[in-house]
Each structure stands twice: as C-alpha cells, then as structure tokens.
C-alpha cells in the first residue's frame, strides 16, 4: 500500500474499466488498510489547493461514519450499500486523482512503519477517530475556509494509517488541530461580526424612528 499513487493511477487513469465507478469497486485496491485508504481517498477532493466542489458534505458524512467506527474499535469499516454502490462518473474522479497523485508521491517517499502504536493501539485509534470526527464536521460547515485544512488533516492522518506510520499520523493530527483552530476562529469572527452588525442595524433603526 506504500505506492497508493501507482494503484490509483492505474485504476483510474491508465486502465479505467467503465465510465462510472463505485466505492465498492475501488476498495479492491485497499487490501487490509481499508480505514486509511478510505480516509485518504475521501478527503482528497477537498484537500487539494483548489478543492473540487461538491464533495465536502457527502464525503464528510461518510468519513464521520468511518471515524465513529474507528473509535469503537471496528476492525473493518462498514458503510450502507447505497453508499458503497453509488455510481460516480469516472471523469470526475480522474480530475482530482491526477491533481492528488503528486502530493501522495511526496508522502510515499518518507512513509514507513514507525511509531506504530499511534496507528494500531486502541488509544491511538480513539485519538485518530476523534480528530477525524471533528474535521469531518468542519468540512460540512458551508463557510469558506473551513474545508481545505481539515481535509488536509484527514488526508495526512489517513496516509499514516496505510503504512502504520505513526509519525505521519501525528503530523496529520497536528494539521487537524490547526484546522480546528482555524474553524473556531472563523466561527467566532462571524459570531462577533454578526452580533456587531445586528447591533448597528438596531441602533440605526431606532435613530430612523426617532426613538
């Protein structure tokens, strides 16, 4: 699984077998590292420097379900049949796979099994699951700036799970922390700004009415 970029390039770019693809068919590439594979693949569209539109909410929901299963100790992920067999046009997938492969290759060059308890122990999996849960929720918030960095955090954390590379997963969780900080800052700024705007309008209305 260390060469995920090659597998995805062959599956989607070199030898596409149909005009549509399902998650169930792609999972044939995953081997035993299903959780990490799914997190990497589902976070990729939103983690790109220019995110692919329309994926943050549906993929965020799926990753939220997967993260919950990781937290409770599931050995293999489960997703509803409707999600597993929902067809997606392969041309849409080819676009973000092509854009994501160079980033995957950069991580693959340094990825190797190390600090494995981070990825394999129950405590490590709970922390990873919680981090991905929070970032999945952040991805679903329809506010600019709350999608890309959280998706990057999930992408890198998931890559660590692929090779039991605890160092990469820790780096991913650090990105998740940065993503959480950014999201909370944006929400706070909007809250304060919204309140200030409301107060300004209220005062202006009272002045207009002569009160």
| Spans of all domains in the chain | 4-208
Q: Quickly list H helices, 72-165.
A: 81-84, 90-110, 117-120, 122-139, 148-162
What are the pLDDT digits (tens) for 144-179? 778 899 999 999 999 999 999 999 999 999 999 999
Tell me the pLDDT tens digit for each residue of 27-81: 888 877 899 999 999 999 999 877 667 788 999 999 999 999 999 999 889 999 9
21 beta partners: 88
Cβ neighbours of 137 (radius 10 Å): 18
Mind listing the pLDDT tens digit for each residue in 78-136?
Answer: 999 999 999 988 888 888 899 899 999 999 999 999 999 999 999 999 999 999 999 99
149 vs 28: CA distance, rounded Å = 28
């Amino acid at each position: 699984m260390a060469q995920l970029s090659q597998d995805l390039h062959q599956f989607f770019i070199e030898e596409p077998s149909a005009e549509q693809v399902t998650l169930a068919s792609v999972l044939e590439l995953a081997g035993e590292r299903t959780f990490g594979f799914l997190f990497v693949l589902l976070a990729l569209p939103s983690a790109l420097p220019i995110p692919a539109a329309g994926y943050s909410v549906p993929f965020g929901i799926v990753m939220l379900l997967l993260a919950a299963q990781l937290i409770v100790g599931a050995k293999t992920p489960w997703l509803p049949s409707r999600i597993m067999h929902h067809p997606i046009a392969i041309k849409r997938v080819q676009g973000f796979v092509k854009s994501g492969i160079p980033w995957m290759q950069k991580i693959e060059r340094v990825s190797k099994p190390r600090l494995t308890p981070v990825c394999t122990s129950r405590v490590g999996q709970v922390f990873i699951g919680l981090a991905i849960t929070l970032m999945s929720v952040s991805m679903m918030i329809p506010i600019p700036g709350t999608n890309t960095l959280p998706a990057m955090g999930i992408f890198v954390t998931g890559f660590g799970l692929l090779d039991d590379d605890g160092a990469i997963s820790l780096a991913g969780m650090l990105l998740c922390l940065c993503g959480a900080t950014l999201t909370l800052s944006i929400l706070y700024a909007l809250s304060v700004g919204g309140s200030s705007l409301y107060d300004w309008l209220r005062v202006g209305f009272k002045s207009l009415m002569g009160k």
